[in-house]
Amino acid sequence: MASFKEIVYVGVTTIMLLVASTSAVDYIVGDDSGWTINFDYQAWAQDKSFRVGDRLVFTYPAGVHNVFKVNGADFRQCTAPVGAVPLTSGNDVVALESPGEKWYLCGVAQHCAVGNQKLGIVVAPNPWSPLPSPSPAPSPLLSDDVSDQNQD
């Protein structure tokens, strides 16, 4: 009985991991417009369901813009954190590794304050890996395996 349970548990876990990995989405921020000024990123984000495991891709001509990850207060005031290092490659991939609110802005000149180059999103937990993860209580299974080996 115990080993049957173990097989079912491993099988279900494998299926969940497969589903989770294949359902992760790469979002090109701004789609064809990319990361730029005078674009409504709130409207862009509005109909999307960001989840843990998804990724944001900021695309822009390198040197023209950059990407700072900021907190809510800095987001509202369009201030880049002192000492923070922005992403500058022009093809910046940001993995969404935890649920909650995330804020990004461009720190070049007045792009955020005047050009509205800022993105705020809410990341939902991945439905296939709930926090806190259930512990499978492996000790009975282990002792069962040992007794099987002893019989052999």
Interface residues toward Cu ion, by CB under 5 A: 65, 106, 108, 111, 117
Q: What's the CA gap between 29 and 143, in Å, rounded?
A: 52
- The string of DSSP letters for 33-102 reads G-S-SS--HHHHHHT--EETT-EEEEE--BTTB-BEEE-HHHHHHT-PPTTPPPB-SSEEEEE--S-EEE
Which is nearer to Cu ion, 51 or 65 (by Cβ)? 65
Which is nearer to Cu ion, 52 or 108 (by Cβ)? 108
CB of 123 to Cu ion, least distance (A): 23
CB of 112 to Cu ion, least distance (A): 7
Q: What's the CA gap between 86 and 139, in Å, rounded?
A: 47
CB of 110 to Cu ion, least distance (A): 9
Which is nearer to Cu ion, 50 or 104 (by Cβ)? 104
Which is nearer to Cu ion, 30 or 53 (by Cβ)? 30
CB of 6 to Cu ion, least distance (A): 53
Q: Position 4: which residue type?
A: F
- The residues, any chain, with a CB within 8 Å of residue 132's CB and separated by 6 or more, are none
Q: State the pairing for strand pair 26-28/100-105.
A: unpaired
Which is nearer to Cu ion, 80 or 108 (by Cβ)? 108
CB of 27 to Cu ion, least distance (A): 18
Q: What's the CA gap between 84 and 92, in Å, rounded?
A: 16
